[in-house]
Structures are given as C-alpha cells and as structure tokens.
Amino acid sequence: MIDTMLGRVDHLLHRRASIPNSLKDFGPYQLSTEWSLGSEIAHGGVATVHNVTNRRGSLSPYIIKLFTPNRGSAETEFLTHLAALIKLNDSGFIGIAPKLVDYGIYKSTEAIIESHVDAFHSEDEFLTYFKSLSIELRVNFLKELATTMSRAALNGVYPLITKGSNLFLPKHGRVGILDYGKAYISNFSDDHPQLKYVDSLYPEKHDKRHFTGTDSFIEFFHSLEYKGLDIINDVGKPHQRIAGMRALSRRHKEKPIKVDDLYREVSVLHVEDIKQSGT
C-alpha cells in the first residue's frame, strides 16, 4: 500500500514542479467515488475536516481533510502532512499519528482520508478536558506528549505543537498528534528518493529542526501555565502545581535540548505542594 501511495505522491510532486499551483487534471488520482462528504466536524486556517459516509449514507470510521485551494500555505501543509503520515505509518509507530487511508483530489481540492481518532475539535474542548484531569494525570499527559514527539523525531518527523486541539487520545492512552502540516521532515528523500521535493519545503529551518519541537513543547506548557492549568486548588487539600518546567527551560536555553531526547528531559516534571502563606 505504501509503495502505491509513494508512486502517486511522486506523480503529484512532478505535476507540482511543472505546473505550479495547479490542482486540476490529476486523472486517476481523483478520490474514489466510494467516499462521500459528511458533516463538517472541524475547521482550521487551511483545511476543513468532515465525516465520511458510504454509498448508503452510513458513517464510516474515517474522516476527510480538505485543504483549501489558494489559501496561504495550504499546499505546503498538504504535502508535509501527507509525507509525515507516510513516514510514520511506514515506521509502525501506531498511535502517534492517524492512519493514512487514501489521498487524492476531491472536487478540485487536495484531500487526505485518515482514520477517525478521538480528537479535540476546538481549543475550548481541549482546555475543558485538561482541566478535568487530576494534577498527576496532567503531568502524565505532558510526559506522553513528549514521548510521542520524540518517537516521531527519531523517525525523521519533527512536529510542532501549536495548540491542544492538534492532539488526540488513542484508546490505549498515548497522546497522539493530529496535524503534521507544520512539521519538518528530515531527509525524506533518503528513504524515498522520489520525494526529494519535500526536503526543500523548509530549507531555512532544517538546521533548527532538532530544537524547534522542544521550543514548541515549552511554549505549549507556558500557554497552559498562563491559563492556570499548571495548578490545582482543591478545597480542603494542599494547593498543588506542576513543577520542573522552569529547570527544563533553563537547561534548554543554556544548551538546546533535541526533541529526540525530550521524553527523557520531561521526566523531571512532578507534582509539588504549594506552600501557603501564614502556614
């Protein structure tokens, strides 16, 4: 299946190189008519996500992501996300990315069909979920996220976490990453020579790719800290907070931490009681 998809991506990239910004005439790479658009379940800056129905109108276990033509970085994010899914699906790292089912053109729009995952469809939904967790489970969530980012990086995909709604929770509990459109792909052409074009999407940031994921993880934590989600104030119990991130941030500034090693570094996170004034 992967070899077939690589051949199709190869065709797509050659078309892209010879006909810039063209979304037409992909012939056999039109999506199969067995896929039908269902209701919209999420809307982002460059893509919308819909349920997929079968010919009888029943929901399938898949979603379709439609990348809006001529909107900012839509085409770049389409190719980057697609390349990341191919690379991670090929690696056998189950649960850190959606399963790639199909891709092609749907009514003149580039589209990817993926397995349906338990995703957060808005930032508010993610924040409500995170707030419902105990302080210990919040720490576990962050450690699982760091592990997922490191596993992706070890396979040449360097994800950037921009918001909680880009994450999902597989049934076995590991925190997965839903959107790889802003990831950096390391030496993709080493494994798949026909996809050398993907390596050139972010040439100016390739030297930084080992560290940008760590930057985004720290910024993601600080966004939770800003909202007070690093602290729990249970009535009748000691106030508690997530500790250890300041030390990690300080080490990262002194000697940048590769995202490949992030899961080990994040092991310093722990729960501590907050000393109350006057006690």
pLDDT in tens, 120-144: 878 899 999 999 999 999 999 999 9
pLDDT for res 24: 38
> CATH 3.30.200.20: which residues of the chain?
2-115
pLDDT for res 227: 92
> CATH 1.10.510: which residues of the chain?
123-195+204-273
pLDDT for res 94: 66
Average pLDDT score over residue span 199-222: 73
Instruction: Count Cα neighbours of 106 within 13 Å in the Cβ-side half-sphere.
Output: 23
Helix (H, G, I), strand (E, B) or coil at 158: strand
Note the pLDDT tens digit of each residue in 73-100: 667 788 788 888 888 877 766 678 888 8
Nearest to 266 by CA among 157, 172, 140: 140
Name the CATH topology of 123-195+204-273. Answer: Transferase(Phosphotransferase); domain 1 (1.10.510)
Per-residue pLDDT band for 170 (boundaries 50, 70, 90) equals low
Q: What is the mean pLDDT of the chain?
A: 77
Average pLDDT score over residue span 242-247: 92
What span, in angstroms and rounded, lies between the C-alpha atoms of 243 and 266? 11
Structural tokens at position 77 = 């994010």
Average pLDDT score over residue span 221-227: 92
pLDDT for res 1: 44
Cα angle, residue 80 at apex, residues 74 and 81 outer, rounded to 5°: 85
pLDDT for res 136: 92
Provide the CATH number for the domain formed by 2-115 in this structure: 3.30.200.20
Strand order of the β-sheet with 270-273 is: 231-232, 240-243, 270-273
Note the pLDDT tens digit of each residue in 3-58: 455 555 555 544 444 333 333 343 446 676 677 888 888 877 788 888 888 777 77
Cα angle, residue 247 at apex, residues 123 and 270 outer, rounded to 5°: 65
CB neighbour class for 89 (10 Å; exposed up to 12, middle 13-18, buried from 19): buried
